[in-house]
Amino acid sequence: MSAMRVDAKVVMLGKESVGKTSLVERYVHHRFLVGPYQNTIGAAFVAKPIQVGEKVITLGIWDTAGSERYEAMSRIYYRGARAAIVCYDLTDSSSFQRARFWVKELQNCEEFCKIYLCGTKNDLIMADRSVRQIDYHDAQDFAEEIGARHFETSSKTGSNVDELFQAIAEDYNDTAFQYMTEDTGVDLGQRKDSYFYSCCHNN
Amino acid sequence: MDGEGQRATVAWETGTLAPVDRLRTERADSPTPGLVEGTEPGAGGKSAMFVHAQSFEDLTAEAEEEALRGAELDKSEEDCTEELKALEEQHNNDFSSDGRAKEEDVSSEAWRSHRKHVFVLSEAGKPIYTRYGTEEALSSTMGVMMALVSFVEAEKNIIRSIHADGCKVVFLTKSPLVLVGVSRTCQSDRELLRELQYIYYQIVSLLTLTQLNHIFQHKQNYDLRRLLAGSEYLTDNLLRRLDRDPGLLLSAVTCLPLASSARDVVSSSLQAAKAKSLVFSILLAGDRLVTLVRKKDQVLHHMDLHLVFNLVGSSSSFREGEGWTPICLPKFNTAGFFHAHISYLEPASELCLILVSTDREDFFNMSDCKRRFLERLSKRSAYQTLKDALKCPSYSVAQVGIPELRHFLYKSKSSGLYTSPEFPVVYESDEEQERLMGLYQDLHSCLHHPTRPLRSFYRCSETENLLAWVTSGFELYLCFSPLATKALAVSAVNKLLKWIRKEEDRLFILSPLTY
Ligand SMILES: Nc1nc2c(ncn2[C@@H]2O[C@H](COP(=O)(O)OP(=O)(O)OP(=O)(O)O)[C@@H](O)[C@H]2O)c(=O)[nH]1
Ligand SMILES: [Mg+2]
């Protein structure tokens, strides 16, 4: 146990049961839990260090509950986030509608939060193409339109999961470096922390 | 403590189950094992952790007042029998259309024969929850239930219960919700009402009453299942607990047996890890309390604590990382949310720490409190003692050394804590445990009868002999083998109280702390 020192806040958003928790579980613990689906209550936080070039960046990942019950509360989870993984289930078109909702919400409230659009449960598509409800290109077009990066992942097989988080860490690293050299006064939720962290490491 | 116990025998050998009011004495020089509230074995110090005097009566009073206002119940009950028939027929006519997990054909005999059904609906008659089957399949049944409630209300009455055909139907109207219990058990209306209240508070704890009212004021026809989606299993689990957990029956909480020196270290480590917004720090081992530290002047209601137990115990979602969730503690305040930091001390550990904060922005502060607590605790040997205590079974009734005694429940009223041994082999199976709980429930009903409460009660049966006894200080339920006699049972009380007094340091939290 050590004190939490987080560089970049990452928030998982999306309709319930799209697979947010599974994605975190796969990335952090390299496993896929089978068994009855347990919806997240409120939100869960986990810090995960990740190697980017020479550096180690700690992602503070907020896995939020998809239930509408917590919608009014969601700001506390995404505020100041540097990256948002907006998830939708490739086999459930209603979950894509919900993803659009979250994108709008982020665009309105968190202009510095980079969006990663993530289609989940790709293994189901691999097993049976007919279950796909969200066309790859439609999602890709939407991602371009909103300036987001787009991934299709499977937490079951692990496909594309590490790539997703690696991209987040690298993007963060690039922009953080930019901010440090420019030293602008942009108000970013985690700015103080990241500076503090960088100082500790450089000295 | 020993001396005390010895002197106690003098008073006890001669006395039977006589009223004990005249035995009022201070704990310090009590000649008896404190029969008066505050001096009984397990009584906490001056500052109890829980809302004081939350007796069973306090809990149900609210519901009963409501019922009383609705006088002339008999008449309404008569009027209702027709409706009840309709309701039963309705069950036959409802068909479940889709095939989700909870699927059970609501027209089947199996569905009808469940021992206890619970339904929650809105005042507009919209289904919100059913214990068995799906809400959709039952929407017309719930409509009939609501029609019943409003039919009676129109006459300025309140419907309380209907008895028919070995089946009790109990209604609890808690605007904007209506709760209905249908039971084939022999529990009293009162017990059933109390269970419905628990379910009501379970829902409030997820949404707050303020939000509930707000929603239904704006849209009477709102489908609350939208907001409760994914929480059904919490209610399912709570109902299971109500059948099985003595704590819910006794309105009390049980502690992990632990050497008081170790518990004190754990408590003071928690006490030291404080923060401005922190109201309660609770350390659980499964369903048992290890310790609870609270803000001065703030007390927790055991019902709220049971809701927290249920939340934590029902979900593996807190297993990974650190949970941060809004939670309303309805007995504390139905209007607002607290924010709970929930995490296990170690990945596979049973030890779960819950830090209840008033500030939803305070996650990292709470996280830091946990870190400080762990840091402090893990340096001390008490942590190992605690972990060892988790490994061994709590205690067996044989340790008490009373022949023919199989099991017991003992609740100290002033501390709101209870203790009971492991179930012996005879009650190893789930069915047997539930049957024993049913027997305890019966005894509990007798002791807490609204008009004719009993102080003590002895009952023989083919399978076991039971003795229940209540004083102003404690409640005690004993289960003996059928070989035991009444005389033996009565003398066992004394012996057991002495044993609990001797062990109270370990079984109870005698000196609860505040920040
Ligand atoms: N086949 C397959 N199933 C998945 C995958 N990811 C998640 N699931 C399943 O989808 C269900 C929901 O997964 P969760 O990760 O709990 O969903 P969530 O988004 O966290 O849901 P909430 O916490 O309620 O918001 C579970 O039954 C998972 O096993 C995947 O990549 N492939
Ligand atoms: Mg989840």
In a domain, A148, yes or no: yes
Within chain B, all domains assigned CATH 3.30.450.30 are found at: 253-391, 397-507
* Residue that is written with structure tokens 């097989």 in the block: A157
Task: Say which CATH topology domain B253-391 has.
Answer: Beta-Lactamase (3.30.450)
d(CA B411, CA B432): 22
Contact A117, A150 (CB under 8 A): yes
d(CA B130, CA B119): 5
Residue B13: pLDDT band (50, 70, 90) is very low
In a domain, A202, yes or no: no
Ramachandran angles phi, psi of B334, nearest 5°: -80, -5
> Least CA distance to A48: which residue of chain B?
B321
State the closest ligand 1 atom to the C-alpha of B317, by its place in the atom list counted from 1.
23
pLDDT single digits (tens) B429-466: 999 999 999 999 989 988 888 788 888 889 988 899 99
- The type of residue at B361 is E
> Least CA distance to A69: which residue of chain B?
B227
d(CA A62, CA B325): 12
- The type of residue at A123 is D
Which among A28, A30, A41 is the top mutation candidate for probing chain B, defined by the most B β-carbons within 10 Å of its own β-carbon? A41
d(CA A37, CA B316): 10
Contact A61, A47 (CB under 8 A): yes
Q: Is the CB of A9 under 6 A from ligand 1?
A: no
Mean pLDDT of chain B: 80
In a domain, A85, yes or no: yes
Q: Is the pLDDT of residue B506 over 60?
A: yes
Does the CB of B348 have a partner CB in chain A at under 8 Å?
A: no
Task: Say which CATH topology domain B108-243 has.
Answer: Beta-Lactamase (3.30.450)
Tokens of B402: 């009373």
In a domain, A174, yes or no: yes
Within chain B, all domains assigned CATH 3.30.450.70 are found at: 108-243
Total structural domains within chain A: 1
Count CB neighbours of A194 within 10 A. Answer: 23
Q: Is the pLDDT of residue B182 over 90?
A: no
Contact assignment for B363 to A45 by CB distance below 8 Å? yes
In a domain, A71, yes or no: yes
Ligand 2: centre distance to CA A23 (Å): 9
pLDDT for the residue numbered B46: 59
Ramachandran angles phi, psi of B474, nearest 5°: -150, 170
In a domain, A198, yes or no: no
d(CA B509, CA B515): 16
pLDDT for the residue numbered B36: 62
Give the least confident one: A146-155, B5-14, B171-180, B193-202: B5-14
Q: Is the pLDDT of residue B53 over 60?
A: no
Q: Kindly state the greatest CA–CA separation across chain B.
A: 69
In a domain, A161, yes or no: yes
d(CA B155, CA B424): 52
User: What pTM was estimated for this model as a whole?
Assistant: 0.84
Facing B317 at nearest CB: one of A4, A38, A73: A38
Look at the alpha carbons of B24, B30, B36, B38 in this order and tell me if their dihedral is positive or negative.
positive
Contact B87, B148 (CB under 8 A): yes
Contact B354, B289 (CB under 8 A): no
| Position with higher pLDDT, B266 vs B165 | B266
Which among B325, B339, B355, B376 is the top mutation candidate for probing chain A, defined by the most A β-carbons within 10 Å of its own β-carbon? B325
Q: Is the ipTM of this complex over 0.95?
A: no
Residue B45: pLDDT band (50, 70, 90) is low
Percent residues over pLDDT 90 in chain B: 48
Segments forming the whole domain that contains residue A170: 3-190
CA distances from B230 to A38, A41, B29, B121, B368 (A): 8, 9, 54, 17, 30
Q: Is the pLDDT of residue A33 over 90?
A: no
Q: Which residues of B touch A21 (CB under 8 A)?
A: 317
Structurally, at CATH architecture level, domain B397-507 sits in 2-Layer Sandwich (3.30)
In a domain, A195, yes or no: no
| Position with higher pLDDT, A35 vs B67 | A35
